[in-house]
Amino acid sequence: MCQKAIYPGSFDPVTYGHIDLIKRAQDIFPELTVAVAHNPQKKPLFSVKERVEMLKEATKDFRGVTVTDFDGLVIDYASRLKANVLIRGLRMISDFEYEFQMALTNRKLNPHIETIFLMPQESYSYLSSKLLKEAASLGADLSSFVPDFVKEALKKKLRDVS
C-alpha cells in the first residue's frame, strides 16, 4: 500500500484548481509532496522559490502536505522520496492525450511508479495558470481563481516585468 504520493507541476502560479487537487489527494494519501518543477523551457513568470512559497502559504493548514522543488525527472525524484504514486490533474479532454503519454513514458522508465489522475471541481476545470497570467496582464479580477496573496503577487510581478 502506498503511503506517499507526489503532485508535481509548474504551479506558475498556484490556482484554486491546484489547491482543489491537493485537498483531494491529501484525503487519499497520508503523505503528499507537492513538488515544483525546475522547468526553464516553460519560461515561468515566478521563480521556483516564489512558487514554493506561494504553495506553502496556500497549504499551510493542510495535514500531511509538504512543498518542495525538484530538478530532473519526476520519477527519479519520486524514487528518492520512496513515493510510488504521481498525482496528475485532468481538467478537460484536451489534457488527457498529453497526460496519458507522459504517464505511459514514466511507467516505461520506472514500472514501480503509478500515475493517478484526479479531476478538479467542475468550477475549476477550465483554469490554467497560463490563461490566468494572460487575464491578469489585461487587468482582469482574479479573485475567484486564485487566493488574494497570489493575486497580489501576480499584479506586482506583472508591474515589475513591464
Q: Are 72 and 106 in contact (CB under 8 A)?
A: no
Using the predicted structure, report yes or no on whether residue 1 has a pLDDT greater than 60: no
Q: Which of 24, 51, 88, 91 does the annotation list as catalytic?
A: 91
Q: Which of 51, 88, 129, 133 does the annotation list as catalytic?
A: 129
Evaluated on CA atoms 67, 71, 74, 75, the torsion sign reads negative
18-58 pLDDT, tens digit each? 999 999 999 999 999 999 999 878 789 999 999 999 999 99
Domain ranges of the chain: 4-125
Using the predicted structure, report yes or no on whether residue 76 has a pLDDT greater than 80: yes
Residue 91 among the catalytic residues: yes
Q: Which of 18, 24, 88, 133 does the annotation list as catalytic?
A: 18
Q: Are 126 and 94 in contact (CB under 8 A)?
A: no
Give the per-residue pLDDT at 2: 62
CA distance 121 to 101: 24
Residue 23 among the catalytic residues: no
Evaluated on CA atoms 85, 39, 146, 50, the torsion sign reads positive
Using the predicted structure, report yes or no on whether residue 92 has a pLDDT greater than 80: no
- CATH level 3 topology of 4-125: Rossmann fold (3.40.50)
User: Of the ranges 57-66, 86-95, 115-124, which one carries the lowest mean pLDDT score?
Assistant: 86-95
Q: Which of 142, 105, 11 is nearest to 154 (CA)?
A: 142
Q: Which of 38, 42, 130, 156 does the annotation list as catalytic?
A: 42
Between 155 and 34, where is the model more confident? 34
pTM of the model: 0.92
Average pLDDT of the segment spanning 61-77 = 96
104-151 pLDDT, tens digit each? 999 999 999 999 999 988 888 887 888 888 898 888 999 999 999 999
